Amino acid sequence: MSLENKSLVTIDDLSNGEIMALFSLADGMSANMKEQHGLCQGKIMASLFFEPSTRTRLSFEAAMQRLGGSVITVSDIGATSLSKGESIADMARVVGGYADIIVIRHPWEGAARVMADYAGIPVINAGDGGHQHPTQTLCDLYTIQKERHTIKGLKIALWGDLKYGRTIHSLIFALAKFGADILFCPSPGLEVPQHVIDKLITEYGGDLEKLGSLDQTAKDNLFPLDAIYTTPSSPHQLAMMPDISVQIELKEGVDALYVTRPQKERFDAGEEGRDFKEKYPVVDKKLLKGRVFRKTLVMHPLPRVDELAYEVDADERSMYFKQATRGIPVRMALLSFLLGARGLDVPEVDSPPPVDYPVYRHDISPVCPNPKCVSIQATEIKYLKPEFKIVKTRPLTLRCVYCEHGFEPKYVASTDWHEGKLDTKKYHDADSHWARTIRPENLIVFNKAEEAQAHGFKPSHYTGGHH
């Protein structure tokens, strides 16, 4: 099987079998690094980094050069035509004519999706705002697989900034795909966004149990747990007696502790200047003495600030420098796959089937509520039409195809309004039964009554709370 010309924008773009095949090739490449030179000879990688990067950028460039390919690079948005108001689509078409593959990091969520849609060559997302960072997740999974020889059934604790950490968001979905249980340990105020939780439960099944009811004694004996996600195959159901079940779940300890720094560069105005350190426990020797961490792998995507003590570096459980080093063979394997230099022997591995959602496309379209979404930026709205997946009907929920933020529109209408008679051109509350009877291809949604009225729709008696 070949992945040639495929792009990697989110971790969902690879099946579990494809990920395991990548790891197998990475093993072979790391064992014989010199033999890989020439595999991508004559190929050019465009390295477009519009946010700071050390490990990701250098490991991609080193990976391409070890494969015998060459690199053209941009690292300053001010040195490109984007600073003159050029759209991402135009840049994608131009760079797509210069290179064979593009690696992009950009502050706008969904920018990598736009690049992939217009470049005409494979595109790899090296981080788009707070959305996803799929190749970091491949490095993380590879490290867990190498050290534990499996991912299924493991208990992985995610620690720190779970709100803005794009590495966290990719990793959550990947761990769920592979059947791991996830322990959420956020710094207060930096919990996992609801749209990430919604996607996790909707697409991967399982249960998420919030642990607000866990008594303080139990919490003190464990660590600052906020919630636990258990896979559908987990033997313990937490919903019955959360405090007792948590004790059972953690009896054998945590398999990996994934630590992240506060992503201060993404904080909104209300969060800037807040000191999260008081309630953001430092991972140090003292913490790791706890029985629950006896055999725990300590992981971190780096860079670290104050959340991970330097004294842990000498501990045999520390994995973060191994994670960084393993980024070279993992990215070499990925580049060679996407460039068609290597075929793919995909093993039979259980993988959740992709969910085929109906898509909302209409000239009357809501705007994505995420201010960091690529689809609402001034340079992109000239050509980008908002597009959403209809992920739920109760309540009606749309998810942006670019940044994956979800929202619930307030009102609905149908294009099929009784043979076009104006007196039947009505809009209704989105939580009325009408929202469930309108076919996706006829659905029109509005966030405000004024929007519906501006398009000639009148309120029905299914508005204003009358159902």
Question: 192 is written with which tokens?
Answer: 């996992």
* Sites in the chain below the pLDDT cut of 50: 213-218, 221, 235-244, 248, 465-467
- Cα torsion 377, 367, 163, 131 to 10°: value is -60
Superfamily of domain 135-323: Aspartate/ornithine carbamoyltransferase (3.40.50.1370)
pLDDT, one tens digit per residue, over 186-203 is 888 888 889 899 999 988
pLDDT, one tens digit per residue, over 264-285 is 555 565 555 555 555 667 788 8
Question: 216 is written with which tokens?
Answer: 């303080």
Residue 90 CA to residue 96 CA, distance in Å, equals 10
pLDDT of residue 214: 46
Tell me how long the chain is: 467
| pTM of the shown model | 0.87
What is the strand order of the sheet 297-299 is part of? 207-210, 227-230, 181-186, 155-160, 256-259, 297-299
pLDDT of residue 173: 94
Taking each helix axis as running N to C, give the angle between helix 134-148 and helix 16-31, from 0 to 180 degrees, rounded to the nearest 10: 70
Residue 389 phi, psi (nearest 5)? -95, 140
E strands present in 62-188 = 70-74, 101-106, 123-128, 155-160, 181-186
Question: 154 is written with which tokens?
Answer: 């493991």
pLDDT of residue 77: 63
pLDDT of residue 244: 45
CATH 3.40.50.1370-classified regions of the chain: 11-129+327-338, 135-323
CATH architecture of 11-129+327-338: 3-Layer(aba) Sandwich (3.40)
pLDDT of residue 233: 64
